[in-house]
């Protein structure tokens, strides 16, 4: 057996579809067989995460494995990112959408993750910071961006990602674009009269794969997508074409590759950080290059 390595597991059994959890005991057994001395923390509430993460970093464990959905991952990233010593992070997706795991290219079948851990497939990744909050994949604000945390947990448990699609359609059809957002890219470049924006590490959002051409992005930058108020119909056709992979040269979005930006709002609104609702008192965004080391298939 290989040398024993200390590791912490943060496990959220209440997230995602129930069937996603059936292989968790076998996965934990395999991790032990790979030489990990596991300290397992099963959480019922997100406020239980911080103490477990702080302790793991203080003990300088080799890895932290996060068994949960995007909300669980986000809470763990908040706690890990502020530490001086940051262990390797293994994202093991058992949530509803698992957007961050998709960005990392992690397998959807839990037992397929074991070879990646065994091969020590680890690489540094950039993460984003807005105010004093961190995110690994997506930050958003404005119209349509509250869907992930306003969708019924019961509906998510039974329907999975389809629950988000139903919530999107309801919000799209029956709500108005009321937000006035401005984004300052530079002293001479300001985007105004926006109804929503997304800052993305990857190029997919739920069922909308390849939402952006990533070829133009430099290292140390994220994607910024911004939608102007008057383009609701164009947005529908843009997203439809992305979902069914049709060529669509006309886009509703303003696009920029960004390292840092400033936001301003006409009203108080929450941010969606990797699916979690947060309120901020500082609207500055920056990229933290190579801030975390993660297990990945890429």
Structural domains in the chain plus CATH codes: 5-126 (3.40.50.10330), 138-290 (2.60.200.40)
Helix/strand/coil percentages in the chain, nearest 5: 30, 35, 35
pLDDT of residue 1: 44
What 8-state DSSP symbol labels residue 23? T
Let me know the angle formed at the C-alpha of 16 by 10 and 21, rounded to the nearest 5 degrees: 65
d(CA 29, CA 220): 37
Encode pLDDT of 47-104 as tens digits. 899 999 999 999 999 999 999 988 899 999 999 999 999 999 999 998 887 888 888 8
d(CA 94, CA 116): 17
* Reported confidence tier of residue 154, pLDDT bands at 50, 70, 90: confident
pLDDT of residue 168: 76
* Reported confidence tier of residue 18, pLDDT bands at 50, 70, 90: confident
- Whether this prediction's pTM lies above 0.75 is answered by yes
Encode pLDDT of 175-203 as tens digits. 777 668 888 888 788 888 888 888 988 76
CB-based contacts of 68, cutoff 8 Å, min separation 6: 10, 11, 12, 15, 16, 76, 94, 95
Contact between residue 62 and residue 269 where contact means Cβ atoms under 8 Å apart: no
* Reported confidence tier of residue 123, pLDDT bands at 50, 70, 90: very high
pLDDT of residue 250: 47
């Amino acid at each position: 057996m290989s040398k024993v390595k200390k590791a912490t597991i943060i496990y959220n059994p209440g997230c995602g579809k129930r069937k996603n959890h059936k292989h968790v005991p076998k996965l934990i057994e395999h991790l032990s067989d790979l030489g990990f001395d596991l300290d397992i923390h099963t959480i019922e509430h997100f406020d239980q995460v911080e103490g477990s993460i702080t302790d793991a970093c203080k003990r300088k464990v080799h890895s932290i494995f996060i068994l949960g959905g995007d909300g669980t991952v986000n809470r763990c990233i908040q706690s890990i990112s502020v530490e001086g010593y940051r262990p390797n992070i293994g994202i093991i997706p058992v949530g509803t959408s698992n957007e961050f795991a998709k960005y990392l290219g992690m397998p959807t079948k839990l037992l397929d993750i074991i070879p990646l851990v065994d091969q020590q497939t680890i690489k540094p990744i950039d993460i984003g910071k807005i105010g004093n909050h961190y995110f690994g994949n997506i930050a958003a604000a404005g119209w349509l961006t509250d869907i992930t945390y306003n969708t019924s947990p019961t509906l998510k448990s039974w329907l999975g990602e389809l629950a988000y699609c139903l919530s999107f359609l309801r919000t799209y059809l029956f709500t108005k674009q009321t937000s006035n957002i401005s984004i300052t890219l530079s002293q001479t470049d300001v985007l105004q009269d926006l109804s929503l924006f997304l800052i993305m590490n990857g190029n997919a959002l739920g069922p909308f794969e390849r939402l952006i051409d990533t070829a133009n992005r430099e290292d140390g930058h994220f994607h910024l997508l911004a939608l102007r108020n008057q383009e609701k119909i164009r947005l529908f056709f843009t997203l439809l074409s992305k979902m069914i992979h049709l060529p669509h040269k006309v886009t509703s979005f303003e696009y920029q590759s960004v390292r840092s930006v400033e936001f301003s709002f006409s009203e108080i609104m929450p941010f969606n950080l990797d699916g979690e609702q947060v309120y901020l008192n500082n609207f500055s965004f920056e990229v933290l290059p190579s801030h975390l080391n993660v297990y990945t298939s890429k």
